[in-house]
Chains A and B, each alone.
Chain A
Amino acid sequence: AQSVTQLGSHVSVSEGALVLLRCNYSSSVPPYLFWYVQYPNQGLQLLLKYTTGATLVKGINGFEAEFKKSETSFHLTKPSAHMSDAAEYFCAVSVGGGYQKVTFGTGTKLQVIP
C-alpha cells in the first residue's frame, strides 16, 4: 500500500524567502505524486503532479517539485514566498493503472510572515 509523509505540520517563512515543504512517499511500484493546496474555507486545488517523464515538475503560482526516486521524495519549493501563499498544502500519492485511490498526506500549514 502506498503512503506519504509530510515533515512538519507547520512551516513559517518570511515574505520573499524560499518555501520548502517536504514530502516523502512509500510505494513498492512507481508512484504518481501530487501537490494540492487548500486555502481557508475552500476545497483543494491541484498545484502540480508528477506522472512520468521529467522529474522536475512546474506548477501554478511559481511552485515546483522534483521527484527523486533515490530519496523517495517529492518536495515542493518556491523561490520567493508571497503573502497569498499562506495555506494548507497536501502531498498525495497513487499507484498503478485503473481506478486506484489517491492517498493524501496530513498536510503542512504554511505561514508567511510579512
Chain B
Amino acid sequence: DTAVSQTPKYLVTQMGNDKSIKCEQNLGHDTMYWYKQDSKKFLKIMFSYNNKELIINETVPNRFSPKSPDKAHLNLHINSLELGDSAVYFCASSQDSGTFSTDTQYFGPGTRLTVL
C-alpha cells in the first residue's frame, strides 16, 4: 500500500490554465505539506496543514490555493499557470508529535508539472 500518493504523476498544460494536484496519505498522520522542487533540485516548503488547519503559508503567489477536505487529503489548486510554475511538487505528511520540527516527513512520489 502506498503511504503518500499523488495524482497525477505528470501534468503538462498551457500557460493560463487552472490545474489541481491531489494528495492522499493513509498513515493516519495529522500534518501534511506541499513542497516545490525546482530544476536545480532546490526544495522549498509552500504550505503545511495540521488537522485541516493551515499552519505554514510561505511566500507563495495567491494563485496557489491548498485545500484540505480531511486529515488524509491535501490538494493543491493552481490558477493561471505560468512558465515559472514548472517544477516537481511533492506532498508529504508527518505524525504530529506536538512539534513537527522533529517529526519525520514521508514524501509522495511527486508530480512533475510542465507549463508550456
Number of chain B residues close to chain A: CB under 8 A? 27
Would you give the shortest CB distance from A108 to chain B, in whole angstroms?
A: 10
Query: Which chain B positions have C-beta within 8 A of A42?
Result: 109-110
Interface residues on A, range: 20 to 34
Can you list, as one digit per residue, whether each of A94-114 has a CB less than 8 Å from chain B (1) or not (0)? 111111111010110100000
| Option from A88, A95, A102 in Cβ contact (under 8 Å) with B41 | A88
Q: From residue 95 to 115 of chain B, which have CB atoms closer than 8 A to chain A?
A: 98-102, 104-110
Q: Does A82 contact B (CB under 8 A)?
A: no
Q: Name the interface residues of A71-107: CB closer than 8 Å to any CB of B.
A: 88, 90, 94-102, 104, 106-107
**Known A43-B109, A43-B110; contact A97-B101, beta-carbon cutoff 8 A:** yes
Residues of B within 8 A of A (CB): 4, 31, 40-45, 48, 50, 55-56, 58, 90, 92, 98-102, 104-110
